[in-house]
Amino acid sequence: MKILAGILILLIPTAIAAQDYQNMNEEDMRKMTEQMQKMQSCMQDVDQAELEVLEQRSKQVDAEIKSLCAEGKRDKAQEKAISFGKEMAKAPAIQIMRKCGQMMKEMMPEKPFMDQDKDLSSHHVCDQDLENK
């Protein structure tokens, strides 16, 4: 579940950036509406059954990772999280969602924070709950 939520969170900066369009002219507004309709159409291609399977798998892996962390097996927990992240990235539903998100991103003005991938190499999955509190 956390991983699915994380993926959806990746799309949030796109929606936030949309607030910068307060001074748009009619033509820009029309183009943005068309682009949003394309994105909505794109999202309809996401297999909802696959998303449900991914959510269940995510819950299972999350429980396994928490268990490994509780047992002090931090390295195994980290390996499991990375492996599952790679597995999720290959899932067709996730790939479609990323493509749809990219459509939206392309219509937004450039924002410095939007193109920066967060460096997670110094973060550990077992410390994640502590960081979010």
Reported as a single tens digit per residue, the pLDDT across 20-71 is: 556 678 888 888 888 888 888 888 888 999 999 999 999 999 999 999 999 9
Task: Domain count for the chain, please give it.
Answer: 1
- Mean pLDDT in the chain? 78
Residue 125 Cα distances to 7, 40, 53, 75, 118, angstroms? 16, 33, 22, 9, 15
Q: Which tops the pLDDT comparison, 122 or 87?
A: 87
Q: Does residue 4 sit within a domain?
A: yes
Q: Does residue 53 sit within a domain?
A: yes
Q: Does residue 89 sit within a domain?
A: yes
Question: For residues 91 and 128, what is the distance between their CA atoms, to the nearest angstrom?
Answer: 24
CA nearest neighbour of 67 among 126, 132, 1, 15? 126
Q: Does residue 37 sit within a domain?
A: yes
Domain hosting 58: range is 1-12+29-106
Q: Record the pTM.
A: 0.60
